[in-house]
Structure 1
Amino acid sequence: MAAYAALVSLARTTELLLNSDKYSIPVDEKAQITSIREYAMFLISSLEDFPERSSRLEGKIKDIANQTEVLIEYFMWKQIRLNWCSVQNLSRSEFDELLTKSREEIGLIVSQTMDGQFVGDSSATISPARLAPTNNNDVVIGLGADLITIKDRLCGASSKLQVIPITGMGGIGKTTLARNAYDDSSIVGYFHIRAWVTVSQHYSAHRILSTLLDSMTLFLKEQVLGEEIDETVMAEKVYKCLKGRRYLVVMDDVWSTEVLDDVRKLFPDDGNGSRIMLTTRLSNVGLYADSSGPLHQMRFMDNNQSWDLLKQKVFMSGQDCPSELEDIGKMIARCCGGLPLAVVLVGGILSAGKMTQASWKEVAQNIASIVDEQLEKLLSLCYKHLPQHLRPCFLLIGGFSEDYEIQVSRLIKLWVAEGFLKCGNRYKSFEDEAEEYLEDLVRRNLVLVAERKASGKIKRCKLHDLVRDLCVRKSNDVNEKYTTAFIKDFRYINHIDHYPKETWLPTFLAMLSQRVATSLQPDLVGNFRLLRILDVINDSDRLLPSQVFELFHLRYFALAYYVKIPPSISNLENLQTLIICPWRKYGRYPAHFSSLPLEIWSMPQLRHLVFSYSYILPDPKDCSTPPLENLQTLSGVSSLVCSRRVMKLLPNLKKLGIIYSRNEDYNVYNLIHLHQLEKLKITRCRDSSWLRKNPIFPLSLKKLTLYGGEFPWKDMAVVGALPNLEVLKLRFLVYDGDTWETTNGGFLQLKFLLIEESNLQYWITETNHFPRLKSLRLHYCWDLSRIPDGIGEIPTLELIEVDDVNKSLVDSAKQILEDQLEYYGNNALQVHCIRV
């Protein structure tokens, strides 16, 4: 992993240097750097050709690649920031000498590789060529009886508040069972409120309260964004919200009775059948939670169930196991000891390997003794068979806290900033490639999907505790460790000890632990000359020291609080991502908007600008301003004037989010010139109007979210004509009027439709007007009399979700469900009613 990641990053850095006109490179030095790049590309190909082997030279490759990249980055920094000749600690001749030495060392490794010394153990020959299918509707194999039992207890006759403990060893399926019961349509409809809290070993009362409150947003009358709330106040809000309502709270992965003592006072017992379901590996915790009822003890799967689950994970739906693999497959399933996690992970290995007896026998030999060793060998085997390009990406996920649900958009930006992505061209961006990497890790069952977007892409992901433990161990194996208090929670640190003191800190710094709040102290920041990623949770002074803007190699800069961005931001010439979004605990929304400096337009490496609607992107006005060709995301900007000139400066923008707070003409019709735009969100606040005429949107749009506007419903024809639109969210009176009548030929690709806070009364439509619709959600549609019958007859429809503010709408949704079952036998359609 470390060798491959170091080589990919070195190749990208040398390419950036060789293709830039900012640096003065003598002919001899340019030839040296070109050779280094060619050697790096050769070694990358060698590692990719032998993904299953652990090379004896891997550690040496990592060290030399890292040292060489640090040397080249130091050269780039000196040329840009300082007069080279005035620097005494590393002369030009010394640089040439070190560069020559690095090229020779890498060249020697290439020679050894070509001579056959690039060898490793021969115990694994599984190819990654074939990937396991993604089953979005997995059958809960072996849990059918458990699920019936749990559902009966959840909806049982007892009106008293009951706790239902699910116990068993790690990986046996406790969380899977709880999640299937929690998401069951009959359970969803039975409880007024449902909330899921993952506790874990190192639990936080504040996090539990925050999670509960987040699950109750529909019921909270007072919501103050960005305001820190005292834990006592939070607990009171949770209690009041649950009071009088039938609720289901799941507490997943509970490790101590102390947690239960802390949360008991949150849950009122109103004699209405409320339930608390918890999962724990410790039987004494389950008994302590409720000694009056039985523990639900998870059982191991039998051999047949293990084999059925293994087949499900290895073969696509409807595909049979080849007869020559059946016997060895059943033996592999038996070796997993009835542990579902073991079966799932082995399935990931088999699905990514060759469908031959020899390949499957090798897997069987490697996993024979894993169960007794608590999956250690199995998990290591899973890692061992990861392709080289996936290993660094996988290990970085382990840097997030236990049970943390990772925002995929953030994870991908970190992968790109670390230099883990090799490609990136006009046909496939780094971000597109990263999404493929993540889906690959999911298919291998190493990464869990916490939530998918309406488009089907992964929105949030996480790691199973045992898999994360593997990540941490492997990270410790391949990275140096520091004991300094300030940096002890960083990941991917490489110590370079023979370069000048101000550059000794790492080129591969990742991020601060989510649990750490640190201050940007100038003296410390000044030592991080080669820092690539800086993710700051909190700073008591709310000021950025000037040393931050000397971090020439910084690629990812995220702040959880508001600051005024100075013109010196342009010194960060390699910056790809700038995020300024306050956390609820730390950030407060400012009283006025702040303009970004004009210098933001002189940062060609920018890929993502993400704000919380408090920054204005200035109009450069200078016709000679070059476009930001790499910028893909511009999210959360205020009052963007969409002049044609500005649109031309954003030619490859894919995601745009704007808020308008004043009643002006913002030329939004010019958005049609953003030919690559896929996601657009426009928000109107207060009494502003963001358009004065019929809206025009780019034909490339796949997702459109509109908040406010009060346009006539007939203007929806413009939206319906968008040929690629898959997700449409209409919030807070976007369209005004009592009748919406659709026509044939529109919304041809639409899969998800949300209408929220609308005065619509009559919706006239036909089945073929939404031919691909999967999910319809109607929230706070007070006046809508009924859902058109044609909606229920859409063959692709899977879900109708309504709230109980409009009884006639609820009745209409239920009638559609009954008709679909009675006349068409459609069991796929679900109707969810949210109680508010």
Structure 2
Amino acid sequence: MAYAVLHSLAQTTYQILNHDEYPISGKLKDQIRRLRQEVVSLRNFFELFPYEVNSLETRIRDAANEAEDVIEHWMHEHIRSPAATDIEYDFGELKMVMEEIISIAKEMQEIVMKLDGPRPRPAMLQSSPTTTTPDVDSFTVVGLKEQVVKLRVQLCKRSPSHRLSSRPVISITGMGGVGKTTLARTVYEDEEVVKRFPVRVWIALSQNYTMENVFEELLLSLEKQVKKGLVKDGSTTKSKIRKILTFKKYLIVVDDLWSEETWNEISEGFGDPYKRDESRIMITTRNEEVASSLSAAMYHHKMGLMDETESWSLLKQKVFPGKECPPELVKTGKDIAKGCKRLPLAVVVAARILAQRNQTQSSWEEFAQNVRTHIVEDTQFQKIMLLSYTHLPHPLRPCFLYMCGFHDDYEIRISKLIKLWMAEGFVKDQEEAEGFVKDQEEAEEYVIQLVSRNLALVTAIKFDGKIKSCVVHDLVRDLCKGKAIDENFERRISNSHLDLREVARAYASTLRSVISFHPNESSLRGLRKFKLLRVLDLVDTDAYSLPASVFELFHLRYLAFGCPMEVPSAISRLENLRTLIICPNKRSRQYKYSRDEIYLPLEIWMMPLLTHLVSFFDLLPDPEGAASPLKKLLTLSVVKKLICTEEMMKLICNVEKLSITYFGDIYQQDYMLHNLVLLSQLEKLTLVVTKGSLLQLKAKPVFPETLKKLTLSGWRFPWEDMKAIATLHNLQVLKLRDHAFQGSNWINASDEVVLFAKLQYLVIEDSDLEKWIIDKWRFPSVKNLVLKGCGKLNEIPKAIGYGPELEIIEVERANESLLKCVQEIRKTRTRSRYNLLLL
């Protein structure tokens, strides 16, 4: 975690040195400036020499942690209370830490000076089909028959020569322990495959390797499979290999490939990349990006987890090979298999441990009570599964360990995760202009990298293919919680059901993040001790109010809670707050659309760093002419009754996501929605009307051209008003809910102008629409069409149903006429990727 702490410390020192509100002496500023220089230097060392840094990582981590603790304690105590004493003592500690950091930096320079080439990377190579399968996925083949057939077909089928511009590579991907090597080995030894390929080689790469060893072992294996005399003794190893593989049809399996760099090195010896004799290369890898780049022209096979039936079958086979499981052990055995969370390697580990125990019901029941602990503590399981973590680039490691702090089966929304990472300082420094936007883009890339390495499993995606939510496999999370303790990372996050008073006793002086799921309000009393806290998420607690001590947390950047309370003016004391979320928990959902006159405090306009403001309960206060623009504000959601005056639009001028709720039966005033057009950065807009209508006020919004996503609910606009939306050139998502538009006919036919040019996702939900007429100039880009609660609509216009890009239509089974129409469309369409989903 050294890199993460250095990253965070670099941000903290930058903040002190570049902001006037920190009145420090010139001598102290010089000291902090020197510290920052050394910290940035060490951080660069991590990036340039990721392997060589291992020997210094623990010392760097501990020193950086101590330095950041000292500085942030000083910021909290002495900047908040200038009259406080002990300044000399605090910075005496900092001086001692500085000496350690300088000493480490000198050792680092010595290491760099000694480097004269890359570290040796030994390799392991297997050539004989009778060679023992590597331990990585050494378990019985269960549930792989269909996958074996698919891969065999891909290996043995003839490919049109014009489609292959380089080596035909077949890839097998999936998380560690899922069975990639077992599948590849089964295919490799398949009888038909053996007959098809006269030359076969299995290369199992270790974490480190040297190309000299790889090529020597490869040549040794090849010479055993070809006639003598094919290659001359005087040739180089690489030229001999190239000649054999140029003249012989081969199958090469590269098992456990980690990077394109490795592939580029090893593939140099594979002969002519454009030969057309049906030779094949098959790779296994945990990295989807590596697989996609190598197998784009051939075949990419993604392995998933087993189902529970397959898990139990595998467990039985491994514990009782060739025998039946005793009846009294079946129920407990199924519970154990279920506890393995569908991961084949976990089942194998559990089976090995069980096979060494007494085969009695009491013994199995004792094991079943702690099956996950037994698996995670197994040395072989740790060795295999932690490879994915140790291969992560240093910037990604804290991000992943942070994800592992959530509880079982917790579905993590990416939008929330990114805000948490940024609050913790895991993303790049905010030194550049528009730093926050750039940080957000980098954080999104971090998510993609973790998913591509199969460390996070996607649970939902957005219309544009971006990841909406994901989970970490329970066993991986359990394992990496232990890794977090080893790397002293638990001092940064408490993410549990524990009473916060217990957490305070252990980590109060250093804890940076608290995400609490504890239902007891009294557990919040320990918050007053968390002086360095950056993240506080209490949404899932049963608290009715926040303790006053929360508003003393000077370093707090992310605050989320679920109680419908009046936010005090003390919120402005949280000078570093970037994210404020007030959303309903299970107890407070009844308040979500409450129309009580509860306003956020006027001091909300005194928080210039505020970037995301989400409030399901409170109203945004009238600035009263004393406010400054919230120039960093990107999200304003789900504010009630916002009056969009020109002044208000200037105050939130850079907002990208805006969501507003109005109440049509009580508040009859002009909300000036025509001024929405002044929001020149707005990309996502949600406008909801509940309990009535605003149409009598002619409160029609005027939308900015920048909109990419628009959600309207309850407005009851006439369908003629759709013209204002149809011409939005950047609109990609349109959701019309709860009679957003009202009337029996929607007719899209006029002059030859392409409308809804970029619209990809269209939802019509709860509508009285009966007839929908479209000409050919409409909806050319729609991929997803969702029709729900449209009981009077019985036909989908051909212009959209047979659109060139349409992939999915979602309809309700209850609407038989519409269902029949969609089924007819599916029959007549020729595109194989078209799908019908029944709601």
Note whether the superposition's TM-score is higher than 0.5.
yes
- Residue of structure 2 aligned with 1:748, choices 744, 750, 757: 757
Is residue 338 of structure 1 aligned with residue 178 of structure 2?
no
The separation in 1 between residues aligned to 2:74 and 2:496, in whole angstroms, is 25
User: Which deviates more, 641-650 or 101-110?
Assistant: 101-110
Indicate the SS of the match to 1:634: strand
The separation in 2 between residues aligned to 1:36 and 1:307, in whole angstroms, is 59
In the alignment, which residue of structure 2 is the partner of 1:133?
A: none
- Residue of structure 2 aligned with 1:478, choices 470, 487, 499: 487
- The 5 A counterparts of 1:312-711 are 322=167, 336-338=181-183, 350-351=258-259, 353-358=261-266, 375-424=381-430, 425-426=433-434, 428-479=437-488, 489=498, 505-512=509-516, 514=517, 516-519=518-521, 524-537=526-539, 542-585=544-587, 587-589=589-591, 592-612=596-616, 614-622=617-625, 624-661=626-663, 662-689=667-694, 692-711=698-717
CA contact (8 A) 1:542 1:561 kept: yes
**CA gap 1:51/1:303 in 2 versus in 1, 3 angstroms:** farther
Indicate the SS of the match to 2:570: helix
- The 5 A counterparts of 1:108-123 are 108-116=103-111, 122=119
In the alignment, which residue of structure 1 is the partner of 2:722?
A: 716
The separation in 2 between residues aligned to 1:320 and 1:473, in whole angstroms, is 46
- Residue of structure 1 aligned with 2:744, choices 731, 738, 741: 738
The separation in 2 between residues aligned to 1:790 and 1:333, in whole angstroms, is 45
CA contact (8 A) 1:518 1:536 kept: no
**CA gap 1:504/1:404 in 2 versus in 1, 3 angstroms:** closer
CA contact (8 A) 1:520 1:544 kept: no
In the alignment, which residue of structure 1 is the partner of 2:790?
A: 781
Cα deviation digits, residues 331-369 of structure 1 (max 9, x gap): x999822399x99x99996356432345999x99999x9
**TM superposition shift of 1:508:** 2.9
The separation in 1 between residues aligned to 2:589 and 2:558, in whole angstroms, is 19
CA contact (8 A) 1:785 1:808 kept: yes
CA contact (8 A) 2:407 2:496 kept: no
Q: Name the aligned partner's letter for residue 95 of structure 1.
A: D
**TM superposition shift of 1:48:** 1.5
Measured on the aligned residues, the alpha-carbon RMSD in Å equals 4.3
CA contact (8 A) 1:753 1:776 kept: yes
**CA gap 1:757/1:650 in 2 versus in 1, 3 angstroms:** same
**TM superposition shift of 1:797:** 0.5
Unmatched runs of 5 consecutive residues or more in structure 2? 124-135, 157-162, 186-203, 208-253, 270-282, 288-344, 350-378
**TM superposition shift of 1:417:** 1.0
The separation in 2 between residues aligned to 1:596 and 1:755, in whole angstroms, is 34
Cα deviation digits, residues 134-170 of structure 1 (max 9, x gap): xxxxxxxxxxxxxxxxxxxxxxxxxxxxxxxxxxxx9
User: Whose Rg is larger?
Assistant: 2
In the alignment, which residue of structure 2 is the partner of 1:828?
A: 833
**TM superposition shift of 1:811:** 2.0
Cα deviation digits, residues 355-397 of structure 1 (max 9, x gap): 2345999x99999x99877653332221111111111111111
Indicate the SS of the match to 1:684: strand
**TM superposition shift of 1:63:** 1.3
Q: Name the aligned partner's letter for residue 640 of structure 2.
A: S
CA contact (8 A) 1:685 1:708 kept: yes
CA contact (8 A) 1:451 1:460 kept: yes
**TM superposition shift of 1:804:** 3.6
In the alignment, which residue of structure 2 is the partner of 1:25?
A: 24
In the alignment, which residue of structure 2 is the partner of 1:203?
A: none
In the alignment, which residue of structure 2 is the partner of 1:766?
A: 775
CA contact (8 A) 2:286 2:453 kept: no
Q: Name the aligned partner's letter for residue 630 of structure 1.
A: K
**CA gap 1:366/1:298 in 2 versus in 1, 3 angstroms:** closer
**CA gap 1:765/1:510 in 2 versus in 1, 3 angstroms:** same
The separation in 1 between residues aligned to 2:689 and 2:824, in whole angstroms, is 36
Is residue 105 of structure 1 aligned with residue 100 of structure 2?
yes
Q: Name the aligned partner's letter for residue 103 of structure 1.
A: M
**% identical equivalent positions:** 37
CA contact (8 A) 1:595 1:615 kept: yes
Q: Name the aligned partner's letter for residue 100 of structure 1.
A: K
CA contact (8 A) 1:451 1:459 kept: yes
The separation in 1 between residues aligned to 2:256 and 2:699, in whole angstroms, is 53
Indicate the SS of the match to 1:354: helix
Cα deviation digits, residues 65-89 of structure 1 (max 9, x gap): 11111222122223432133xx24x
The separation in 2 between residues aligned to 1:432 and 1:96, in whole angstroms, is 36
The separation in 2 between residues aligned to 1:470 and 1:489, in whole angstroms, is 20
Q: Name the aligned partner's letter for residue 752 of structure 1.
A: Y
- The 5 A counterparts of 1:38-53 are 38-52=37-51
Q: TM-score under structure 2 normalisation?
A: 0.68
**TM superposition shift of 1:118:** 10
CA contact (8 A) 2:676 2:701 kept: no
User: Greater relative contact order (Cα 8 A, min sep 6): structure 1 or 2?
Assistant: 1
**CA gap 1:830/1:710 in 2 versus in 1, 3 angstroms:** same
CA contact (8 A) 2:760 2:781 kept: yes
**TM superposition shift of 1:643:** 1.0
Count of aligned residue pairs for this structure pair: 639
The separation in 2 between residues aligned to 1:665 and 1:810, in whole angstroms, is 42
The separation in 1 between residues aligned to 2:263 and 2:552, in whole angstroms, is 53
Cα deviation digits, residues 768-787 of structure 1 (max 9, x gap): 41111100111111222411
Q: Name the aligned partner's letter for residue 183 of structure 2.
A: G
**TM superposition shift of 1:34:** 1.6
Q: Name the aligned partner's letter for residue 672 of structure 2.
A: N
- The 5 A counterparts of 1:810-821 are 810-820=819-829
**TM superposition shift of 1:639:** 0.5
The separation in 2 between residues aligned to 1:365 and 1:805, in whole angstroms, is 45
- The 5 A counterparts of 1:296-311 are 298-299=143-144
**TM superposition shift of 1:97:** 2.7
Unmatched runs of 5 consecutive residues or more in structure 1? 127-169, 174-280, 282-295, 312-317, 498-502
Q: Name the aligned partner's letter for residue 79 of structure 2.
A: I
**CA gap 1:606/1:335 in 2 versus in 1, 3 angstroms:** closer
Indicate the SS of the match to 1:800: strand
In the alignment, which residue of structure 2 is the partner of 1:247?
A: none
CA contact (8 A) 1:522 1:547 kept: no
CA contact (8 A) 1:517 1:537 kept: no
**TM superposition shift of 1:116:** 0.9
Cα deviation digits, residues 570-604 of structure 1 (max 9, x gap): 11111111112122256541562410000111112
Q: Name the aligned partner's letter for residue 754 of structure 2.
A: G
- The 5 A counterparts of 1:4-23 are 4-23=3-22
The separation in 2 between residues aligned to 1:573 and 1:319, in whole angstroms, is 59
The separation in 2 between residues aligned to 1:536 and 1:597, in whole angstroms, is 20
**TM superposition shift of 1:766:** 2.8
Indicate the SS of the match to 1:637: strand
**TM superposition shift of 1:750:** 0.7
Q: TM-score under structure 1 normalisation?
A: 0.69
Q: Name the aligned partner's letter for residue 774 of structure 2.
A: T
